[in-house]
Amino acid sequence: MKTTRPTESRERVFLVGVGQKRPSHVTGVEAGEAERASLAELAELARSAGAHVAGSIFQMRDKVDPATVIGRGKIEEVKIEAQLHKAPLIIFDRNLTPTQLRNLESGTDCRVIDRTQLILDIFARHARSREGQLQVELAQLNYMLPRLAGSAKELSRQAGGIGTRGPGEQKIETDRRRIRDRVSKVTKAIESIRKQRSLRRQTRQAVPLGAVALVGYTNAGKSTLFNALSRAGVLVSSKMFATLDPTVRAVRLPSNRRVLLSDTVGFIRDLPPGLIAAFRATLEEVTESALILLVTDISNPHHAEQDAEVEKILKGLGVGDRPRLHVLNKIDQLTPEQAACLTGNHNSVLVSAMTGEGLEELLGRIDAAMPVDPILHLRFELPLKDGRAIALVHALGRVLHSDVRDSVMVMEAELPTSVARRLSISPEPVLA
Protein backbone atom coordinates (compact mmCIF):
# COMPACT_ATOMS: atom_id res chain seq x y z
CA MET A 1 0.00 0.00 0.00
CA LYS A 2 1.42 3.37 -1.01
CA THR A 3 1.66 5.96 1.71
CA THR A 4 1.85 9.68 1.08
CA ARG A 5 4.13 11.87 3.11
CA PRO A 6 2.43 14.80 4.80
CA THR A 7 3.34 18.16 3.34
CA GLU A 8 5.51 20.39 5.48
CA SER A 9 3.36 22.91 7.36
CA ARG A 10 4.40 26.52 6.92
CA GLU A 11 4.42 28.93 9.84
CA ARG A 12 1.43 31.28 9.79
CA VAL A 13 2.31 34.95 10.17
CA PHE A 14 0.37 38.20 10.53
CA LEU A 15 1.81 41.40 9.04
CA VAL A 16 1.55 44.94 10.41
CA GLY A 17 2.34 48.09 8.43
CA VAL A 18 2.31 51.73 9.55
CA GLY A 19 2.02 54.87 7.45
CA GLN A 20 2.18 58.52 8.49
CA LYS A 21 -0.46 61.10 7.62
CA ARG A 22 1.86 63.53 5.88
CA PRO A 23 1.55 64.81 2.32
CA SER A 24 3.68 62.90 -0.16
CA HIS A 25 6.58 64.80 -1.73
CA VAL A 26 5.99 62.94 -4.99
CA THR A 27 3.32 64.42 -7.27
CA GLY A 28 0.37 62.09 -7.79
CA VAL A 29 1.37 59.77 -4.94
CA GLU A 30 -0.95 59.69 -1.95
CA ALA A 31 0.25 59.70 1.65
CA GLY A 32 0.93 56.17 2.84
CA GLU A 33 1.21 54.67 -0.67
CA ALA A 34 4.93 53.97 -0.27
CA GLU A 35 4.30 52.27 3.09
CA ARG A 36 1.53 50.14 1.56
CA ALA A 37 3.91 49.06 -1.21
CA SER A 38 6.49 48.24 1.45
CA LEU A 39 3.92 46.08 3.27
CA ALA A 40 3.23 44.16 0.05
CA GLU A 41 6.98 43.68 -0.29
CA LEU A 42 7.10 42.40 3.29
CA ALA A 43 4.57 39.73 2.31
CA GLU A 44 6.92 38.58 -0.48
CA LEU A 45 9.80 38.53 2.00
CA ALA A 46 7.74 36.40 4.41
CA ARG A 47 6.91 33.92 1.65
CA SER A 48 10.60 33.78 0.73
CA ALA A 49 11.27 32.83 4.36
CA GLY A 50 8.84 29.91 4.00
CA ALA A 51 5.93 31.49 5.88
CA HIS A 52 2.22 31.52 5.07
CA VAL A 53 0.84 35.08 5.24
CA ALA A 54 -2.45 34.59 7.09
CA GLY A 55 -3.43 38.26 7.12
CA SER A 56 -2.27 41.83 7.48
CA ILE A 57 -3.31 45.18 8.90
CA PHE A 58 -2.27 48.71 7.94
CA GLN A 59 -2.56 51.78 10.14
CA MET A 60 -2.22 55.46 9.27
CA ARG A 61 -0.94 57.62 12.13
CA ASP A 62 -0.01 61.25 12.69
CA LYS A 63 3.25 60.05 14.24
CA VAL A 64 4.74 56.73 15.33
CA ASP A 65 4.20 55.87 18.99
CA PRO A 66 7.70 55.67 20.56
CA ALA A 67 6.70 52.87 22.97
CA THR A 68 4.58 50.59 20.79
CA VAL A 69 4.70 52.05 17.23
CA ILE A 70 0.95 51.52 16.73
CA GLY A 71 -0.43 52.75 20.06
CA ARG A 72 -1.98 50.87 22.96
CA GLY A 73 -5.47 50.70 21.44
CA LYS A 74 -4.26 49.23 18.16
CA ILE A 75 -2.27 46.54 19.97
CA GLU A 76 -5.50 44.93 21.18
CA GLU A 77 -6.89 44.91 17.63
CA VAL A 78 -3.70 43.30 16.29
CA LYS A 79 -3.86 40.71 19.08
CA ILE A 80 -7.46 39.77 18.20
CA GLU A 81 -6.72 39.65 14.44
CA ALA A 82 -3.66 37.44 14.96
CA GLN A 83 -5.71 35.06 17.10
CA LEU A 84 -8.53 34.93 14.53
CA HIS A 85 -6.01 34.14 11.78
CA LYS A 86 -4.27 31.57 14.03
CA ALA A 87 -0.94 33.32 13.50
CA PRO A 88 1.52 32.89 16.41
CA LEU A 89 4.07 35.22 14.76
CA ILE A 90 3.57 38.94 14.02
CA ILE A 91 5.96 40.72 11.65
CA PHE A 92 6.24 44.52 11.66
CA ASP A 93 7.23 46.32 8.49
CA ARG A 94 9.82 48.49 10.21
CA ASN A 95 12.83 48.15 12.46
CA LEU A 96 11.80 47.91 16.11
CA THR A 97 13.76 49.06 19.14
CA PRO A 98 14.29 46.57 21.99
CA THR A 99 11.69 48.44 24.08
CA GLN A 100 9.10 48.42 21.30
CA LEU A 101 9.72 44.72 20.72
CA ARG A 102 9.21 43.91 24.39
CA ASN A 103 6.04 46.04 24.67
CA LEU A 104 4.50 44.54 21.52
CA GLU A 105 5.14 40.96 22.60
CA SER A 106 3.62 41.53 26.05
CA GLY A 107 0.63 43.35 24.53
CA THR A 108 -0.18 40.82 21.80
CA ASP A 109 0.81 37.59 23.60
CA CYS A 110 2.56 36.62 20.34
CA ARG A 111 6.10 36.40 19.16
CA VAL A 112 7.02 39.61 17.32
CA ILE A 113 9.87 40.22 14.89
CA ASP A 114 10.72 43.20 12.68
CA ARG A 115 11.74 43.65 9.06
CA THR A 116 15.47 43.29 9.81
CA GLN A 117 15.01 40.01 11.65
CA LEU A 118 12.99 38.62 8.74
CA ILE A 119 15.67 39.60 6.21
CA LEU A 120 18.34 38.03 8.41
CA ASP A 121 16.35 34.79 8.46
CA ILE A 122 16.15 34.77 4.66
CA PHE A 123 19.86 35.46 4.40
CA ALA A 124 20.58 32.56 6.78
CA ARG A 125 18.46 30.23 4.61
CA HIS A 126 20.14 31.19 1.34
CA ALA A 127 23.81 31.58 2.33
CA ARG A 128 25.73 28.65 0.86
CA SER A 129 29.41 29.61 0.91
CA ARG A 130 31.48 29.85 4.08
CA GLU A 131 31.86 33.57 3.50
CA GLY A 132 28.12 34.12 3.15
CA GLN A 133 27.36 32.11 6.30
CA LEU A 134 29.91 34.08 8.32
CA GLN A 135 28.54 37.40 7.05
CA VAL A 136 24.99 36.41 8.03
CA GLU A 137 26.14 35.25 11.46
CA LEU A 138 27.95 38.54 12.07
CA ALA A 139 24.85 40.53 11.16
CA GLN A 140 22.69 38.34 13.42
CA LEU A 141 25.06 38.72 16.37
CA ASN A 142 25.23 42.51 15.99
CA TYR A 143 21.43 42.61 15.80
CA MET A 144 21.03 40.41 18.87
CA LEU A 145 23.51 42.18 21.17
CA PRO A 146 21.50 45.34 22.04
CA ARG A 147 18.33 43.26 22.43
CA LEU A 148 19.56 41.13 25.32
CA ALA A 149 18.52 43.75 27.85
CA GLY A 150 14.87 42.89 27.47
CA SER A 151 15.42 39.14 27.70
CA ALA A 152 16.42 38.67 31.33
CA LYS A 153 13.50 36.32 31.93
CA GLU A 154 14.48 33.97 29.14
CA LEU A 155 18.20 34.16 29.80
CA SER A 156 18.16 33.78 33.61
CA ARG A 157 19.21 30.52 35.16
CA GLN A 158 16.22 30.87 37.50
CA ALA A 159 12.62 31.81 36.92
CA GLY A 160 13.15 35.43 38.00
CA GLY A 161 11.51 37.51 40.70
CA ILE A 162 12.53 38.85 44.11
CA GLY A 163 15.91 37.57 45.15
CA THR A 164 16.87 36.27 41.71
CA ARG A 165 17.59 39.51 39.85
CA GLY A 166 21.33 39.21 40.37
CA PRO A 167 21.76 35.84 38.64
CA GLY A 168 19.55 37.08 35.80
CA GLU A 169 21.74 40.11 35.18
CA GLN A 170 24.84 37.96 35.53
CA LYS A 171 23.57 35.59 32.84
CA ILE A 172 22.91 38.52 30.50
CA GLU A 173 26.46 39.75 30.96
CA THR A 174 27.75 36.23 30.26
CA ASP A 175 25.74 36.11 27.04
CA ARG A 176 26.94 39.56 26.05
CA ARG A 177 30.54 38.52 26.57
CA ARG A 178 30.01 35.33 24.55
CA ILE A 179 28.41 37.29 21.72
CA ARG A 180 31.24 39.86 21.69
CA ASP A 181 33.82 37.05 21.63
CA ARG A 182 32.01 35.37 18.77
CA VAL A 183 31.70 38.68 16.89
CA SER A 184 35.46 39.11 17.21
CA LYS A 185 36.15 35.59 15.89
CA VAL A 186 33.70 35.91 13.00
CA THR A 187 35.09 39.33 12.07
CA LYS A 188 38.62 37.90 11.94
CA ALA A 189 37.44 34.96 9.82
CA ILE A 190 35.67 37.31 7.38
CA GLU A 191 38.78 39.51 7.22
CA SER A 192 40.86 36.43 6.37
CA ILE A 193 38.43 35.52 3.56
CA ARG A 194 38.49 39.15 2.43
CA LYS A 195 42.29 39.01 2.11
CA GLN A 196 42.03 35.77 0.12
CA ARG A 197 39.45 37.39 -2.17
CA SER A 198 41.78 40.37 -2.58
CA LEU A 199 44.64 38.06 -3.60
CA ARG A 200 42.39 36.31 -6.13
CA ARG A 201 41.34 39.69 -7.46
CA GLN A 202 44.97 40.77 -7.83
CA THR A 203 45.65 37.54 -9.72
CA ARG A 204 42.76 38.30 -12.05
CA GLN A 205 43.97 41.88 -12.50
CA ALA A 206 47.36 40.59 -13.67
CA VAL A 207 45.47 39.77 -16.86
CA PRO A 208 43.92 43.11 -17.87
CA LEU A 209 40.24 42.17 -17.82
CA GLY A 210 37.76 44.87 -16.89
CA ALA A 211 35.19 44.08 -14.19
CA VAL A 212 31.46 44.62 -14.69
CA ALA A 213 29.10 44.35 -11.70
CA LEU A 214 25.38 43.61 -11.89
CA VAL A 215 23.46 45.53 -9.22
CA GLY A 216 19.80 46.16 -8.68
CA TYR A 217 16.79 45.69 -6.48
CA THR A 218 16.14 42.16 -5.30
CA ASN A 219 14.09 40.10 -7.77
CA ALA A 220 14.93 42.45 -10.66
CA GLY A 221 16.22 39.51 -12.71
CA LYS A 222 19.98 39.96 -12.18
CA SER A 223 20.74 36.24 -11.87
CA THR A 224 18.67 35.43 -14.96
CA LEU A 225 20.54 38.12 -16.89
CA PHE A 226 23.87 36.87 -15.49
CA ASN A 227 23.08 33.34 -16.70
CA ALA A 228 21.99 34.60 -20.11
CA LEU A 229 25.25 36.51 -20.61
CA SER A 230 27.69 34.02 -19.07
CA ARG A 231 25.86 30.64 -19.12
CA ALA A 232 26.94 30.23 -15.49
CA GLY A 233 23.93 28.29 -14.20
CA VAL A 234 23.42 30.49 -11.10
CA LEU A 235 20.27 29.73 -9.09
CA VAL A 236 17.28 31.64 -10.43
CA SER A 237 14.23 31.99 -8.19
CA SER A 238 11.29 34.34 -7.80
CA LYS A 239 12.00 34.39 -4.07
CA MET A 240 13.70 37.47 -2.72
CA PHE A 241 17.43 37.23 -1.91
CA ALA A 242 17.69 33.85 -3.65
CA THR A 243 21.30 34.75 -4.58
CA LEU A 244 23.65 35.87 -1.81
CA ASP A 245 27.07 34.52 -2.69
CA PRO A 246 28.87 36.50 -5.42
CA THR A 247 29.67 34.72 -8.68
CA VAL A 248 32.27 35.91 -11.21
CA ARG A 249 32.47 34.67 -14.81
CA ALA A 250 34.40 35.76 -17.90
CA VAL A 251 32.24 37.05 -20.76
CA ARG A 252 33.45 37.67 -24.32
CA LEU A 253 32.34 40.93 -25.91
CA PRO A 254 31.74 41.60 -29.64
CA SER A 255 35.27 43.06 -29.96
CA ASN A 256 36.55 39.66 -28.79
CA ARG A 257 37.99 41.07 -25.57
CA ARG A 258 36.82 39.55 -22.32
CA VAL A 259 35.41 41.12 -19.15
CA LEU A 260 34.68 39.69 -15.70
CA LEU A 261 30.96 39.80 -14.93
CA SER A 262 29.91 39.54 -11.27
CA ASP A 263 26.46 38.86 -9.82
CA THR A 264 25.88 40.39 -6.37
CA VAL A 265 23.28 40.34 -3.60
CA GLY A 266 20.09 42.24 -4.41
CA PHE A 267 19.27 45.47 -2.61
CA ILE A 268 16.04 46.37 -0.85
CA ARG A 269 14.48 49.44 0.72
CA ASP A 270 15.48 50.17 4.33
CA LEU A 271 18.34 47.66 4.12
CA PRO A 272 19.86 47.84 7.62
CA PRO A 273 23.36 49.39 7.76
CA GLY A 274 24.53 46.35 9.73
CA LEU A 275 23.73 44.11 6.78
CA ILE A 276 25.62 46.33 4.37
CA ALA A 277 28.61 46.32 6.73
CA ALA A 278 28.45 42.54 7.12
CA PHE A 279 28.33 42.01 3.36
CA ARG A 280 31.11 44.49 2.53
CA ALA A 281 33.37 41.67 1.29
CA THR A 282 30.67 40.61 -1.16
CA LEU A 283 30.00 44.19 -2.21
CA GLU A 284 33.69 44.75 -2.90
CA GLU A 285 32.98 43.25 -6.32
CA VAL A 286 30.88 46.39 -6.91
CA THR A 287 33.49 48.81 -5.55
CA GLU A 288 36.23 47.22 -7.69
CA SER A 289 34.21 47.23 -10.92
CA ALA A 290 35.02 49.49 -13.85
CA LEU A 291 31.40 49.51 -15.05
CA ILE A 292 28.12 49.00 -13.19
CA LEU A 293 25.02 47.52 -14.82
CA LEU A 294 22.01 48.85 -12.91
CA VAL A 295 19.30 46.26 -13.58
CA THR A 296 15.68 47.41 -13.25
CA ASP A 297 12.50 45.37 -13.36
CA ILE A 298 10.78 47.78 -15.73
CA SER A 299 7.49 45.85 -15.43
CA ASN A 300 7.24 46.70 -11.72
CA PRO A 301 5.06 49.79 -11.18
CA HIS A 302 7.35 50.88 -8.32
CA HIS A 303 10.61 50.56 -10.27
CA ALA A 304 11.47 54.26 -9.87
CA GLU A 305 11.35 54.01 -6.07
CA GLN A 306 13.38 50.78 -6.20
CA ASP A 307 16.06 52.42 -8.35
CA ALA A 308 16.21 55.32 -5.89
CA GLU A 309 16.94 52.85 -3.07
CA VAL A 310 19.69 51.20 -5.12
CA GLU A 311 21.22 54.61 -5.90
CA LYS A 312 21.22 55.42 -2.19
CA ILE A 313 23.18 52.26 -1.38
CA LEU A 314 25.62 52.80 -4.26
CA LYS A 315 26.38 56.29 -2.95
CA GLY A 316 26.93 54.78 0.50
CA LEU A 317 29.47 52.39 -1.04
CA GLY A 318 31.27 55.32 -2.66
CA VAL A 319 30.51 54.29 -6.26
CA GLY A 320 27.73 56.72 -7.03
CA ASP A 321 29.77 58.32 -9.83
CA ARG A 322 31.06 55.04 -11.34
CA PRO A 323 30.38 54.59 -15.10
CA ARG A 324 27.17 52.64 -15.58
CA LEU A 325 24.57 51.36 -17.97
CA HIS A 326 20.89 51.24 -17.04
CA VAL A 327 19.49 47.84 -18.05
CA LEU A 328 15.69 47.85 -18.28
CA ASN A 329 14.86 44.16 -17.84
CA LYS A 330 11.64 42.17 -18.33
CA ILE A 331 10.44 44.11 -21.39
CA ASP A 332 8.69 40.91 -22.47
CA GLN A 333 6.10 41.70 -19.79
CA LEU A 334 5.29 45.11 -21.31
CA THR A 335 2.87 45.98 -24.09
CA PRO A 336 4.39 47.30 -27.35
CA GLU A 337 3.05 50.77 -26.48
CA GLN A 338 4.75 50.72 -23.06
CA ALA A 339 8.04 49.53 -24.57
CA ALA A 340 7.90 52.27 -27.22
CA CYS A 341 7.72 54.93 -24.51
CA LEU A 342 11.04 53.73 -23.05
CA THR A 343 13.19 54.26 -26.16
CA GLY A 344 15.29 57.38 -26.58
CA ASN A 345 17.48 57.26 -23.45
CA HIS A 346 21.09 56.87 -24.66
CA ASN A 347 22.23 55.42 -21.30
CA SER A 348 19.63 52.64 -21.06
CA VAL A 349 19.26 49.29 -22.81
CA LEU A 350 15.98 47.39 -23.16
CA VAL A 351 16.40 43.65 -22.61
CA SER A 352 14.55 40.52 -21.64
CA ALA A 353 16.88 38.12 -19.86
CA MET A 354 14.19 35.45 -20.14
CA THR A 355 13.71 35.58 -23.92
CA GLY A 356 17.16 36.90 -24.88
CA GLU A 357 15.82 40.04 -26.55
CA GLY A 358 18.30 42.92 -26.51
CA LEU A 359 21.26 40.91 -25.15
CA GLU A 360 23.42 41.43 -28.24
CA GLU A 361 22.85 45.17 -28.04
CA LEU A 362 23.69 45.07 -24.33
CA LEU A 363 27.01 43.32 -24.99
CA GLY A 364 27.82 45.93 -27.64
CA ARG A 365 26.99 48.75 -25.26
CA ILE A 366 29.19 47.19 -22.55
CA ASP A 367 31.97 46.92 -25.12
CA ALA A 368 31.69 50.61 -26.00
CA ALA A 369 31.33 51.80 -22.40
CA MET A 370 34.18 49.84 -20.79
CA PRO A 371 36.83 52.39 -19.68
CA VAL A 372 39.41 49.63 -19.11
CA ASP A 373 41.73 48.42 -21.88
CA PRO A 374 40.26 50.44 -24.78
CA ILE A 375 40.07 48.95 -28.26
CA LEU A 376 42.55 50.17 -30.90
CA HIS A 377 41.98 49.91 -34.65
CA LEU A 378 45.49 49.05 -35.95
CA ARG A 379 47.46 47.88 -38.97
CA PHE A 380 50.66 45.95 -38.18
CA GLU A 381 52.97 43.18 -39.34
CA LEU A 382 53.89 39.91 -37.62
CA PRO A 383 56.45 37.27 -38.72
CA LEU A 384 54.78 34.13 -40.06
CA LYS A 385 56.99 32.01 -37.82
CA ASP A 386 55.50 33.70 -34.73
CA GLY A 387 52.41 31.51 -34.69
CA ARG A 388 51.74 32.21 -31.01
CA ALA A 389 51.43 35.98 -31.59
CA ILE A 390 49.16 35.47 -34.61
CA ALA A 391 46.97 33.08 -32.61
CA LEU A 392 46.80 35.63 -29.75
CA VAL A 393 45.56 38.32 -32.15
CA HIS A 394 42.81 35.99 -33.38
CA ALA A 395 41.90 34.91 -29.82
CA LEU A 396 41.80 38.31 -28.10
CA GLY A 397 41.14 40.68 -30.99
CA ARG A 398 38.97 40.96 -34.07
CA VAL A 399 40.86 40.53 -37.36
CA LEU A 400 39.36 42.67 -40.10
CA HIS A 401 41.83 41.85 -42.88
CA SER A 402 45.04 39.85 -43.26
CA ASP A 403 47.47 39.35 -46.10
CA VAL A 404 50.71 37.34 -46.44
CA ARG A 405 53.69 39.17 -47.91
CA ASP A 406 56.95 37.24 -48.12
CA SER A 407 57.63 36.02 -44.58
CA VAL A 408 55.31 38.39 -42.72
CA MET A 409 51.58 38.69 -42.22
CA VAL A 410 50.10 42.15 -42.63
CA MET A 411 47.03 42.45 -40.41
CA GLU A 412 44.33 45.01 -39.84
CA ALA A 413 42.58 44.31 -36.56
CA GLU A 414 40.81 45.74 -33.52
CA LEU A 415 42.93 44.92 -30.48
CA PRO A 416 42.74 45.76 -26.77
CA THR A 417 45.54 48.13 -25.77
CA SER A 418 47.00 45.54 -23.40
CA VAL A 419 47.32 42.96 -26.20
CA ALA A 420 49.07 45.43 -28.50
CA ARG A 421 51.45 46.28 -25.66
CA ARG A 422 51.99 42.61 -24.83
CA LEU A 423 52.91 41.74 -28.45
CA SER A 424 55.36 44.66 -28.59
CA ILE A 425 54.17 45.39 -32.09
CA SER A 426 54.86 48.64 -33.88
CA PRO A 427 51.28 49.60 -34.64
CA GLU A 428 50.23 51.81 -37.47
CA PRO A 429 46.90 53.43 -36.55
CA VAL A 430 44.22 53.25 -39.18
CA LEU A 431 42.78 56.68 -39.84
CA ALA A 432 39.02 56.94 -40.03
Phi-psi region of 429 (alpha: psi -120 to 50; beta: other; left: phi over 0): beta
How far is residue 177's CA from residue 169's CA, in Å, rounded to a whole number?
Answer: 12
For residue range 13-70, list pLDDT tens digits in order.
999 999 887 655 544 456 678 888 889 889 988 988 889 999 999 999 888 999 999 9
pLDDT digits (tens, 9 = 90+) for 293-310: 999 999 988 888 889 888
pTM summary value: 0.70
Residue 38 has what pLDDT?
87
d(CA 191, CA 210): 25
Question: Could you tell me which of 146, 137, 266, 260 has the C-alpha nearest to residue 189?
Answer: 137
Question: What was the pLDDT predicted at 230?
Answer: 86
Look at residue 263 and give its three-state secondary structure. strand
- DSSP annotation of 51 reads -
Report d(CA 263, CA 245) in Å as an integer. 8
The helix-helix angle for 115-126 and 33-48 (nearest 10°) equals 30
pLDDT of residue 157: 43
359-372 pLDDT, tens digit each: 999 999 998 888 77
